[in-house]
Chains A and B, each alone.
Chain A
């Protein structure tokens, strides 16, 4: 028996001493394998007397179990150690920077145009379009600018060579010619907006030879200036994302509207920013009015039957106001630094349900 105890101690010491799985397996084979020392002891049972066999057999089995347990435990330990060692070799520096992720941008003009479309779309407007290259008829004459009238000079017009019929060809000075194209091409009721490029030969700190406007036109039977005022108030509040916006109508003059007005919105100016909505200052944002009877007539409609309003607003200008962009000229310089700073993310989709801006 003491022999058995000695063997157990010896094997357990060998298990503990095994430095890797191969060594451990050697220990297992030498103890528990077919020719292992424990196995050999089991083989001697047959030669023993029944009583002795019983007692010795039980003892050997207990030793065998303890050794098997010890080997299993040691195996787990060695496996864990091996995994730890492998993982240690697989370490990377996770603080290394990621690969370059190109980030696209959307131009502010696109963004505010889509914001306007979203708001006016909810008010039942649809989008109308017209060409940048216009004729004198659509840009001026049909809009009730009499030939030679000083109001034409208020628009510093870019001209192209006259067309085959000798008529003036020009770059539209405003989006209002779309009013003419829409009324001529469609039977009322009409409710459209027309954003787009416009051109005037003017260039200084606050003017660029090309800029963007959005036109609105509503033609129906009973649309009056009160509807115009409500439309602008609701637009301004939604666009500037404030609860309420102070609005002021000032009588003004445009050849194609009568009565005409300019619209100011309330604002508060501080040293280097403007807060839109409330405050004691005013900021002009658009010209508007009831469509002039001559314009309605020029489009083949009866001004006693059809009436409505129109307005035009600078898209670049309202982008500057809303997003605090200081310089109009930079809109068209395509400076990457400017575009990254003032541009919008690809997924900044303005929606009414999800909010116009982040």
Chain B
């Protein structure tokens, strides 16, 4: 909402400067977005008198002028404007002045060999419009040397404020003045609006249908003014509208715009000659259209309030008028409309049609219904003053909606809620200045709500009014009572895991990413998505269409983007949500990672190889160990998700059903869909599936038990079928003597000469740690026999001869 300081001062008696006004506006909740002090910008441009104007010796279209700027010897100025002539009063800029339209600083210059010591300016160069036909011609009585902006009434600051949706009353200058006066910045002096008696009955009848009268448009007022002379507005009105960014159109239209901005009261004017019969306010009918003044034709439906005449729809009530019934320069009889429309109905139609208008902006926030008649009278006054004519009597259809209910108010709530100590008399003063009525000051107070404060619903709103006018800079600064001397943890054990998993993966050289939760539909489908409930109805692009079922597609897309920039050896991770339904429980927290390319750059020591499935498995087990998963109880199954390489992926399970993690290489088909080239391995750990550590009474780690007897290591090579899993073999070895065997490691795999086709030689090292005596050769042989037997039983593998 833009307005000028001089405009404000028609409503507020104040000596405050633009800066002081701006500061106060922000302090009371009318946030200033910008202050454009044109008086200051235009101050260096002063009135000058053209003494002589002769032909430039070297250029046909240029003139060589001498200009008296009132500060000593005349300036010599070269000017190309066709209207530059002796005797003219002009706007003069000296060297060093900044030209508003382009920010250029004037420098001494020679034009076609003749020095020019200044510039005579056009409106466009002043940033005051598009007029570039010639230099500005000031009135002959303009005093030489005076700032020209003062003479043209342009020395005004334009203030732009952001009005929150609850404060439609401040979408008019009068409302802003009221707030400022309550905050002590001056006294309200908004001119009173006098009723203007009609001289004849209004020939235009107005009817409201019952369903409209009951709420959507409870009151519609209007009158005819006949014999008007429309045309361009006078300079003051044009200047005012242009200052706030509106385009002057004609007096009649400009008056409605003026009142919209002056009183937050939208109006509409019809050319009465173009109306057939009376005005009807009703819901639209399917098939009807309105050719709007916004340049678009709008379909009408049964939820749209339209203003119609006997022949059909004229305009969208409270939003935009129609072209066929609009006023023009030729309009002689004008019908002025001032009505009230329900905010929700206007908001719905506004959303549906997409029309952005000053009327919609106000009505959907809730115009003061009581301003309907005042607005009509004010418009009448201005039309009679600027266009002449004779007014009819006022026609009123419907009735004002009921007043807002009185509120009860307990003054102690102000301090209770805000900490501000405000005397009760001051509270009453503030409320009354804002237009509230304090009808009883016995506890609790009874407060009446003005018709323009639709936002006031209860006591807390009144507390806010008192707080914001008193000033939030006066709030006390009071630390909250502390809940404990030493802080207690803010995180639950599950929340700690999220944090730990990020740090752990980063220590493993992985880089954390944060990717959008929505991915392309084709990617989601490749990763098993099918539930239409997870498809965004209004995505911002097709790349962001479906809530992701996995993190891997996001990470893969990130890897593809990085590859395009020449980074192909990546280790990326993300710890975040995946979505499997719309219920809160369907969001799972996953730690996901993707490694691509090679493990290292080419380096002189070697050690570079393509990433493989065991890199991903290592990440999984590092993470599970760090997060306290019961590692020894976990099994790894070659159960691949469909989007993974069937022979190079697996699942880490706890028991037969609970899958804690998956890992592996991407399926080549999926990689191709994602445009991912080269080796790529992934993992996903379901952080919520890891069982919580048992709550323990103490942090004791338990005693350390060390054996005094020497540990020994023995190697075995087994000949196993290819189909035997390493895990089953290791498990069998371990199970042979759970007390004695503390570690089993696979140190060689061999296929080839000496090993039959379809078999593999698996070499394992077994560490034996006796607890009660030193092992003898016989002891070792006994346990070795048990190991060989256990392996044979579980896997069919035999000791390799």
A positions within 8 Å CB-CB of B = 96-97, 99-107, 109-110, 114, 117, 120-127, 129-133, 147-151, 153-154, 158-161, 163, 169, 171, 191, 193, 197, 199, 201-203, 209-210, 218, 222-227, 229-231, 233-234, 248-253, 258-262, 290, 292-294, 307, 331-337, 339-340, 343, 345-347, 349
A114, A230, A252: which contacts B29 (Cβ < 8 A)?
Answer: A252
Write out the residue numbers on chain B whose beta carbons fall within 8 Å of the beta carbon of A332.
514-516
A307 contacts B416, C-beta separation under 8 Å: yes
B508 contacts A104, C-beta separation under 8 Å: yes
Q: How far in angstroms is the closest Cβ of chain A from B294?
A: 19
Write out the residue numbers on chain A whose beta carbons fall within 8 Å of the beta carbon of B793.
none
Q: Could you tell me the distance between the alpha carbons of A226 and B458 in the complex, rounded to whole angstroms?
A: 22
Complex A-B: 12 CB contacts under 8 Å: A99-B607, A105-B512, A121-B487, A151-B165, A163-B582, A197-B517, A197-B576, A199-B517, A210-B518, A332-B514, A339-B511, A347-B507
The answer to whether B535 has its CB under 8 Å from any CB of chain A is yes
How many contacts between A and B, using CB within 8 angstroms?
Answer: 271
What string of 1s and 0s marks CB contacts (under 8 Å) between B623-660 and chain A?
Answer: 00000000000000000000000000000000000000
B512, B533, B535: which contacts A343 (Cβ < 8 A)?
Answer: B512
B480 contacts A231, C-beta separation under 8 Å: yes
Q: Could you tell me the distance between the alpha carbons of A349 and B583 in the complex, rounded to whole angstroms?
A: 34
Write out the residue numbers on chain B whose beta carbons fall within 8 Å of the beta carbon of A127.
490-492, 495
- List B residues 34-50 near A (Cβ within 8 Å): none
The answer to whether B482 has its CB under 8 Å from any CB of chain A is yes
B28, B415, B512, B547: which contacts A110 (Cβ < 8 A)?
Answer: B512
B467 contacts A336, C-beta separation under 8 Å: no
- List B residues 502-522 near A (Cβ within 8 Å): 502-503, 505-518
Q: How far in angstroms is the closest Cβ of chain A from B169?
A: 13
A132 contacts B495, C-beta separation under 8 Å: no
Stretch of B10-18, B206-214, B559-567, B689-697 on the interface side = B559-567
A124 contacts B482, C-beta separation under 8 Å: yes
Q: Could you tell me the distance between the alpha carbons of A99 and B483 in the complex, rounded to whole angstroms?
A: 51
Stretch of B74-82, B107-115, B320-328, B469-477 on the interface side = B469-477
Beyond the given pairs A121-B491, A231-B480, 14 more chain A to chain B contacts, judged by CB atoms under 8 angstroms and listed by A's residue number, are: A96-B604, A124-B482, A125-B490, A148-B347, A158-B539, A163-B533, A197-B517, A231-B479, A250-B31, A251-B28, A261-B472, A290-B460, A294-B457, A336-B565
Q: How far in angstroms is the closest Cβ of chain A from B392?
A: 36
Residue of B nearest to A126 (CB): B490
B416 contacts A250, C-beta separation under 8 Å: no
Given that A102-B571, A231-B480 are contacting pairs, would A160 and B29 also be in contact in the complex, using a CB cutoff of 8 Å?
no
Q: How far in angstroms is the closest Cβ of chain A from B491?
A: 5
Write out the residue numbers on chain B whose beta carbons fall within 8 Å of the beta carbon of A250.
26-27, 29, 31, 472
The answer to whether B88 has its CB under 8 Å from any CB of chain A is no
A130 contacts B584, C-beta separation under 8 Å: yes
Write out the residue numbers on chain A whose beta carbons fall within 8 Å of the beta carbon of B512.
104-107, 110, 339, 343
A262 contacts B480, C-beta separation under 8 Å: no
Given that A133-B582, A199-B517, A258-B464 are contacting pairs, would A226 and B478 also be in contact in the complex, using a CB cutoff of 8 Å?
yes
Write out the residue numbers on chain A whose beta carbons fall within 8 Å of the beta carbon of B31.
250, 252, 262
B503, B505, B514, B587: which contacts A109 (Cβ < 8 A)?
Answer: B514
Q: How far in angstroms is the closest Cβ of chain B from A356?
A: 14
Given that A102-B509, A109-B514, A133-B547 are contacting pairs, would A259 and B490 also be in contact in the complex, using a CB cutoff of 8 Å?
no
Given that A103-B509, A110-B502 are contacting pairs, would A210 and B516 also be in contact in the complex, using a CB cutoff of 8 Å?
yes
Given that A209-B544, A258-B461, A336-B567 are contacting pairs, would A169 and B579 also be in contact in the complex, using a CB cutoff of 8 Å?
no
Q: Could you tell me the distance between the alpha carbons of A262 and B162 in the complex, rounded to whole angstroms?
A: 13
Q: How far in angstroms is the closest Cβ of chain B from A328?
A: 12
B417 contacts A161, C-beta separation under 8 Å: no
B166, B365, B417, B491: which contacts A225 (Cβ < 8 A)?
Answer: B417
Given that A124-B482, A148-B344, A201-B540 are contacting pairs, would A169 and B582 also be in contact in the complex, using a CB cutoff of 8 Å?
yes
B29, B532, B538: which contacts A158 (Cβ < 8 A)?
Answer: B538
A123, A260, A290: which contacts B480 (Cβ < 8 A)?
Answer: A123
Given that A102-B571, A127-B491 are contacting pairs, would A209 and B510 also be in contact in the complex, using a CB cutoff of 8 Å?
no
A160 contacts B604, C-beta separation under 8 Å: no
Q: Could you tell me the distance between the alpha carbons of A123 and B604 in the complex, rounded to whole angstroms?
A: 53
Q: Could you tell me the distance between the alpha carbons of A29 and B449 in the complex, rounded to whole angstroms?
A: 124
B511 contacts A105, C-beta separation under 8 Å: yes
B475 contacts A149, C-beta separation under 8 Å: no
A251 contacts B477, C-beta separation under 8 Å: no
Q: Could you tell me the distance between the alpha carbons of A331 and B512 in the complex, rounded to whole angstroms?
A: 11
In the A-B complex, the 8 residue pairs with the smallest Cβ-Cβ separation, listed nearest first, are: A102-B509, A251-B29, A226-B419, A121-B490, A104-B506, A253-B164, A346-B506, A334-B558
B503 contacts A334, C-beta separation under 8 Å: no
Q: Could you tell me the distance between the alpha carbons of A201 and B492 in the complex, rounded to whole angstroms?
A: 32
A150, A234, A346: which contacts B165 (Cβ < 8 A)?
Answer: A150
Given that A226-B476, A227-B419, A331-B514 are contacting pairs, would A336 and B562 also be in contact in the complex, using a CB cutoff of 8 Å?
yes
B166 contacts A124, C-beta separation under 8 Å: no
Interface centre among B28, B475, B515, B600 (most CB of A within 10 A): B475
Write out the residue numbers on chain B whose beta carbons fall within 8 Å of the beta carbon of A294.
457-458
B461 contacts A227, C-beta separation under 8 Å: no
B418 contacts A224, C-beta separation under 8 Å: yes
Q: How far in angstroms is the closest Cβ of chain B from A246?
A: 11
Write out the residue numbers on chain B whose beta carbons fall within 8 Å of the beta carbon of A159.
536-538
A224 contacts B419, C-beta separation under 8 Å: yes
The answer to whether B572 has its CB under 8 Å from any CB of chain A is yes
Write out the residue numbers on chain A whose beta carbons fall within 8 Å of the beta carbon of B746.
none
Q: How far in angstroms is the closest Cβ of chain A from B206?
A: 27
Q: How far in angstroms is the closest Cβ of chain B from A196?
A: 9
Write out the residue numbers on chain A whose beta carbons fall within 8 Å of the beta carbon of B584.
130-131, 133
- List B residues 528-574 near A (Cβ within 8 Å): 532-540, 544, 547, 555, 558, 561-562, 565, 567, 570-572
Residue of A nearest to B496 (CB): A127
Residue of A nearest to B573 (CB): A104
B472 contacts A154, C-beta separation under 8 Å: no
Write out the residue numbers on chain B whose beta carbons fall within 8 Å of the beta carbon of A201.
538-540
- List B residues 362-382 near A (Cβ within 8 Å): 364-365
Write out the residue numbers on chain A whose beta carbons fall within 8 Å of the beta carbon of B515.
332, 334
A104 contacts B561, C-beta separation under 8 Å: no
- List B residues 442-497 near A (Cβ within 8 Å): 457-461, 463-464, 467-468, 472-473, 475-480, 482-484, 487-492, 495
A150 contacts B514, C-beta separation under 8 Å: no
A224 contacts B416, C-beta separation under 8 Å: yes
A161 contacts B537, C-beta separation under 8 Å: yes
A106 contacts B502, C-beta separation under 8 Å: yes
Q: Could you tell me the distance between the alpha carbons of A153 and B164 in the complex, rounded to whole angstroms?
A: 12
Q: Could you tell me the distance between the alpha carbons of A249 and B420 in the complex, rounded to whole angstroms?
A: 14
Write out the residue numbers on chain A whose beta carbons fall within 8 Å of the beta carbon of B517.
132, 171, 197, 199, 210
Given that A104-B505, A125-B490, A126-B490 are contacting pairs, would A258 and B482 also be in contact in the complex, using a CB cutoff of 8 Å?
no
B507 contacts A346, C-beta separation under 8 Å: yes
Q: Could you tell me the distance between the alpha carbons of A78 and B587 in the complex, rounded to whole angstroms?
A: 76
Q: Could you tell me the distance between the alpha carbons of A337 and B561 in the complex, rounded to whole angstroms?
A: 12
B489, B577, B583, B600: which contacts A197 (Cβ < 8 A)?
Answer: B577
Q: Could you tell me the distance between the alpha carbons of A65 and B570 in the complex, rounded to whole angstroms?
A: 72
B472, B506, B513: which contacts A334 (Cβ < 8 A)?
Answer: B513
Given that A107-B512, A331-B514 are contacting pairs, would A226 and B506 also be in contact in the complex, using a CB cutoff of 8 Å?
no
Q: Could you tell me the distance between the alpha carbons of A221 and B460 in the complex, rounded to whole angstroms?
A: 16
The answer to whether B714 has its CB under 8 Å from any CB of chain A is no
Residue of A nearest to B600 (CB): A100
B165 contacts A260, C-beta separation under 8 Å: no
Q: How far in angstroms is the closest Cβ of chain B from A282?
A: 9
Write out the residue numbers on chain A whose beta carbons fall within 8 Å of the beta carbon of B477.
226, 229-230, 233
A171 contacts B536, C-beta separation under 8 Å: yes
Write out the residue numbers on chain A whose beta carbons fall within 8 Å of the beta carbon of B351.
153
The answer to whether B348 has its CB under 8 Å from any CB of chain A is yes
Given that A106-B506, A160-B582 are contacting pairs, would A230 and B479 also be in contact in the complex, using a CB cutoff of 8 Å?
yes
Write out the residue numbers on chain A whose beta carbons fall within 8 Å of the beta carbon of B607.
99
Write out the residue numbers on chain A whose beta carbons fall within 8 Å of the beta carbon of B571.
102, 104
Q: How far in angstroms is the closest Cβ of chain B from A162?
A: 9
Given that A148-B347, A161-B537 are contacting pairs, would A251 and B464 also be in contact in the complex, using a CB cutoff of 8 Å?
yes
